[in-house]
Structure 1
Amino acid sequence: MLTGKQKRFLRAEAHHLNPIFQVGKGGVNENLIKQIDEALEVRELIKVSILDTCGEEKGEVADRLAEGSGAELVQVIGRTIVLYKESRENKKIELPS
Structure 2
Amino acid sequence: MTSKQRAYLKSLAMTMEPIFQIGKSSLTPENTQAIGEALDARELIKISVLQNCMDDPHELAQVVAERTRSQVVQVIGKKIVLYKEGKDNKKKIELPQKAKKS
4+ aligned runs moved over 4 Å, structure 1: none
Residue by residue, what CA displacement relative to the aligned partner does 1:6-30 show, whole Å, maximum 9, x if unpaired? 0000000111100000000010121
Please show how residues 26-37 of structure 1 align to structure 2 within 5 Å: 26-37=25-36
Q: What is the distance in 1 between the residues matched to 2:75 and 2:21?
A: 14
- Cα distance in 2 between the residues matched to 1:23 and 1:66: 14
Post-superposition Cα deviations, 1:34-73, rounded to whole Å, max 9, x if no partner, equal 1001001111000000001101111111111111111100
2:78 aligned with 1:93: no
What are the ranges of 5 or more consecutive residues in structure 2 without an aligned counterpart?
Answer: 98-102
Identity of aligned residues (%): 46
- Name the structure 2 match of 1:52: 51
What amino acid is aligned across from residue 96 of structure 1 in structure 2?
P
The answer to whether 1:25 aligns with 2:24 is yes
Q: How many residues align?
A: 96
CA distance in 2, matches of 1:54, 1:85: 25
Cα separation, 1, equivalents of 2:63 and 2:54: 14
Answer with 1 or 2: which has the greater Rg: 2
CA distance in 1, matches of 2:68, 2:31: 10
Q: Name the structure, 1 or 2, with higher relative contact order (CA <8 Å, separation 6+).
A: 1
Distance (whole Å) between structure 1 residues aligned to residue 21 and residue 55 of structure 2: 13
